[in-house]
Structure 1
Amino acid sequence: MQEVVITREPVELYKILKFEGLCASGAEAKNAVAAGLVQVNGEQELRKRRQIVGGDVIAFEGETLKILFQPPQ
Structure 2
Amino acid sequence: MINFTLDSEYIHLIQLLKAVNVVENGGEAQAVVSEGLVSCNGVTEFRKRYKVRKGDVIEFLQYKIVVD
How would you bin the TM-score normalised by the shorter chain?
A: over 0.9
State the partner residue of 1:60: 60
Q: How does 1:1-73 map to 2 (within 5 A)?
A: 1-68=1-68
**Which residue type is aligned with residue 46 of structure 1?**
F
Secondary structure in structure 1 of the residue aligned to 2:59: strand
TM-score, normalization by structure 1: 0.89
**Which residue type is aligned with residue 41 of structure 1?**
N
Query: Which runs of 5 or more structure 1 residues have no equivalent in the other structure?
Result: 69-73
Larger Rg over CA atoms: 1
Query: Which runs of 5 or more structure 2 residues have no equivalent in the other structure?
Result: none
Q: RMSD in angstroms over aligned alpha carbons?
A: 0.7
**Which residue type is aligned with residue 39 of structure 2?**
Q
**Which residue type is aligned with residue 49 of structure 1?**
R
CA deviations 1:10-69 (Å, max 9, x no partner) are 11000000111001001110110000000000010000000000000000011000001x
**Which residue type is aligned with residue 34 of structure 2?**
A
Take 2:35 and 2:9, find their aligned partners in 1: how far apart are those partners? 25
TM-score, normalization by structure 2: 0.95
C-alpha deviation, 1:6, in angstroms: 1.2
Percent identity for Structure 1 against Structure 2: 34
Secondary structure in structure 2 of the residue aligned to 1:33: helix
